[in-house]
Amino acid sequence: MDSESTSGRDGTAKAKADHGGASRRSFLKSTLALGGAGLAGTAGIRAAQAAGDPLITEIQDWNRYLGVGVDAAPYGMPSEFEKDVVRRSVPWLTADATSSVNFTPLHALDGIITPNGLCFERHHGGVAVIPPQDHRLMIHGLVDKPLVFTMEDLQRFPRENRVYFLECAANSGMEWRGAQLNGCQYTHGMVHCVMYTGTPLKHLLNEAGVKTAGKWLLAEGADASTMTRSIPMEKALEDCMVVWKMNGEALRPEQGYPVRLVVPGWEGNMWVKWLRRLEVGDAPWEQREETSKYTDLLADGKARKFTWAMEVKSVITNPSPQAPITHGRGRTVITGLAWSGNGTIKRVDVSIDGGRNWQTARLDGPSLSKAVHRFYHDFDWDGSELYLQSRAMDEQGFVQPTKNELRAARGTNSIYHNNGIQTWYLKADGALENVEVS
Amino acid sequence: MSKFLDRAFTVALVSAALALPAIAGDSTRMKGVESASVPSGEGAGEHFGLGREATQEEIAAWNIDVRPDGEGLPEGSGTVARGEEIFTEQCAVCHGDFGEGRDRWPQLAGGFDTLTRERPVKTVGSYWPYLSTVYDYVHRAMPFGNSQSLSNDDVYALAAYILYLNDIETDEDFELSKKNFTTITMPNAGEFVADNRAEEQHYKDDRDPCMKDCKSGPVEVTMHAQVLDVTPDAGGEEGPGGGNVD
């Protein structure tokens, strides 16, 4: 990819006085330039091969001169050539950047683990900055003995390591009415998957001694939104965790440093960051985040509440609108992610003809419950226009529905829990577009 | 159907109706007791002697949540008139003088009978089920950028004013207090249902998905993202309001 055509993709989209058609044209132009660059590159390599590729026949700088030493980067960053692999936001989605969201660059990643610095962020009052020695976690309510823990206390509980996906309830929410955002980073990037280290929540609850009447738990954050959610006690005891590490290192500030709640398989809103308080009660609290928000309006005007589990879902991450095919026809790798709040993914099917015919893709890498799964579908692209789709099935037998099936059941104003099948329109020049098909 | 979604939403119902076995309150009672609701494994039911007892003052400082049944409400009261003063000073800059919402900031009032329309307007009056949430949320998280700066009386007054803006209280002299708080019923209170996604047709079918010749006719594109042109990369600035993340 040449830097010219990618520089416009850094998410800092200049406000254009005259956008509309003009910007659409410029986008199409840059997309075509991308495809062109790929072809020119291939041709260039072929020409060079006749006389010998100078990248091989001539000694390169990196082969002659010394690189930097081991002290150059006490905490390393990705290669400078990967500078476009970054979180991006969509400013018009929210009124203010401190109660907003950004997106994981799924199109550029592989495997099942999301690098910490690329995990999407969702805050309701910005990123709280809390010195770990000043953080306290309180358990009270219907318990035998209300307790206060320091971070040091928490780290003396027995530890466990678990890989889980965290998906925002609103992931793909902008697509309920139709194809809107052009790239899986935007349509599906409110998800990440990391290994957490922490202690099962049941240990902390045991320590305080939950009374028989204690059926619900209120989890609260220490940030300026003082985020709160009600969680049924059965889930709290089943597999919730209180964690302080992700992918081996301390939680990132934007992910709740020094401590957050992990609620496997359930909507990201419940994974309270900067966790400071757990109250045990006999009824749900019906907080703002489970009444006004994170309730799903249906076509008849009723709304579902406590829609906790994230349903079976998948998306082809590459190729996709931000990751066009630049190598021309021939051998092609289609890859993507599948996940389900119900457990593991049993199977992923891929269609290249808009859902007329399907082939079962190859799952590769660990298959962990309530974690993302990586799938591949290898085939020869003949250069024709294709309509790429993926369809996941989970271990409970749930099959990912089409968007139209979801709309038939719910209408278009649910905002949350859109797990419908995504279609990418692959054009002859290798560019792709987010579309809906009949 | 024993699928997880089923289980997830029945937790609420089941746990409300049945007494779950003692979880860990009494460690001697728990020893050797196998229970479906207490996961087994290292340390289950064990005490580690970590943490220290919370004081009543500490609990009172953080425990500000209010439930629909009024549990958690502090002493205090406030009138519509007082609420209007505070709202004008501290809230109207974002939410508008009448709770109509400036720019993209949330609208707090109006929107009645819009929930079945193509573009529903979900406000405190048209959508929120409980007044307790108004008190709780304003107290814990508003004004945006200066949380927990309002007194208990201020919050009662603001809640009274928000009721007034929504025509739920029409008397300007109305005073909201701990005493009369739970007598207020919000218009949309009965319109929330339990999670029944597992009952939707596409899941209920429990079908083996079609693999070959699943649809006839050529693929037709019914909608393009590029036509909307709202992806940041494409230079679009304004959303069409097709959906949002709140």
* Predicted pLDDT at B5: 46
What's the CA gap between A228 and A216, in Å, rounded?
A: 13
The pair of structure tokens assigned to A359 is 């082939």
Q: What is the pLDDT of residues A200-243, one digit of tens each?
A: 999 999 999 999 999 999 999 999 999 999 999 999 999 999 99
CB contact under 8 A, A286 and B212: no
* Predicted pLDDT at B60: 98
What's the CA gap between B106 and B190, in Å, rounded?
A: 23
A contacts of B122 (beta carbons < 8 Å): 292, 297
SS3 B87: helix
What's the CA gap between A170 and A95, in Å, rounded?
A: 16
A contacts of B213 (beta carbons < 8 Å): 356-357
- Confidence band of B14 (pLDDT split at 50, 70, 90): very low
Closest to A122 measured CA to CA, from A31, A256, A292: A256
Using DSSP bridges, classify how beta strands A260-262 and A122-123 pair: parallel, antiparallel or unpaired. Answer: unpaired
Nearest beta carbon to residue B128 from set A176, A213, A292: A292
CB contact under 8 A, A95 and B209: no
Q: How far is CA B231 from CA A21, A167, B236, in A?
A: 13, 21, 6
CB contact under 8 A, B16 and A357: no
CB contact under 8 A, A300 and B116: yes
Q: At what angle do helices B80-90 and B152-165 cross, to 10 degrees?
A: 100
Residue pair A240/A259 in contact (Cβ under 8 Å)? The answer is no
Cis amide leading into A319 (omega within 30) = yes
Query: To the nearest whole angstrom, how far is the Cα of B85 from the nearest Cα of chain A?
Result: 24
Best residue of B34, B102, B210, B226 to probe chain A, by most A CBs closer than 10 Å: B226
Q: What is the pLDDT of residues A381-392, one digit of tens each?
A: 999 999 999 999
Q: In B50-141, where do the E strands start and end?
A: 52-53, 77-79
- Confidence band of B4 (pLDDT split at 50, 70, 90): very low
Q: Say which residues have a Cβ less than 8 Å from residue B29's Cβ, sequence separation at least 6.
A: B22
Polymer length in residues for chain A: 438
Overall average pLDDT of the B8-30 stretch: 39
Whether A44 has a pLDDT exceeding 60, the answer reads no
What's the CA gap between A270 and A294, in Å, rounded?
A: 10
A contacts of B246 (beta carbons < 8 Å): 94, 170, 293, 415
A395 CB burial (10 A radius; 0-12, 13-18, 19+): middle
Query: To the nearest whole angstrom, how far is the Cα of B146 from the nearest Cα of chain A?
Result: 8
CB contact under 8 A, B54 and A292: no
* Predicted pLDDT at B45: 67
What's the CA gap between A381 and A383, in Å, rounded?
A: 5
Q: In B1-107, where do the E strands start and end?
A: 52-53, 77-79
Overall average pLDDT of the A413-434 stretch: 98
Whether B238 has a pLDDT exceeding 50, the answer reads no
A contacts of B209 (beta carbons < 8 Å): 349, 358, 391, 393, 399
Query: To the nearest whole angstrom, how far is the Cα of A373 from the nearest Cα of chain B?
Result: 19
Closest to B82 measured CA to CA, from B3, B174, B20, B18: B174
* Predicted pLDDT at A93: 84
B190 dihedral zone (left: phi>0; alpha: psi -120 to 50; beta): alpha
CB contact under 8 A, B39 and A303: no
A429 dihedral zone (left: phi>0; alpha: psi -120 to 50; beta): alpha
* Predicted pLDDT at A438: 87
What's the CA gap between A386 and B60, in Å, rounded?
A: 61
In B, minimum Cα distance to A290 occurs at B133
Q: How far is CA B29 from the centre of its chain?
A: 37
What's the CA gap between A181 and A190, in Å, rounded?
A: 13
- Confidence band of B228 (pLDDT split at 50, 70, 90): low
Percent of chain A predicted with pLDDT > 90: 86
What residue type is B185 in one-letter code?
Answer: T
Cis amide leading into B143 (omega within 30) = yes
* Predicted pLDDT at A51: 86
Query: To the nearest whole angstrom, how far is the Cα of A13 from the nearest Cα of chain B?
Result: 5
Q: Say which residues have a Cβ less than 8 Å from residue B235's Cβ, sequence separation at least 6.
A: A13, A14, A16, A19, A22, A23, A24, A26, A27, B229
Among the ranges given (A407-411, B34-38, B130-134), the one the predictor scored with the smallest mean pLDDT: B34-38
What's the CA gap between A318 and A110, in Å, rounded?
A: 9
Cis amide leading into A115 (omega within 30) = no
HEC readout, A297-340: ECCCCCEECCCCECCCEEEEEECECCECCCCCCEEEEEEEEEEC
Q: What is the pLDDT of residues A75-126, one digit of tens each?
A: 999 999 999 999 999 888 888 888 899 999 999 999 999 999 999 999 999 9
Whether B6 has a pLDDT exceeding 60, the answer reads no
CB contact under 8 A, B233 and A94: no
Nearest beta carbon to residue A214 from set B23, B141, B211: B23
A404 CB burial (10 A radius; 0-12, 13-18, 19+): middle
Higher-confidence residue of A182 and B27: namely A182
- Which residues does residue A394 pair with via DSSP β-bridges, in sequence order? A345
A contacts of B202 (beta carbons < 8 Å): 399, 401-402, 405-406, 409
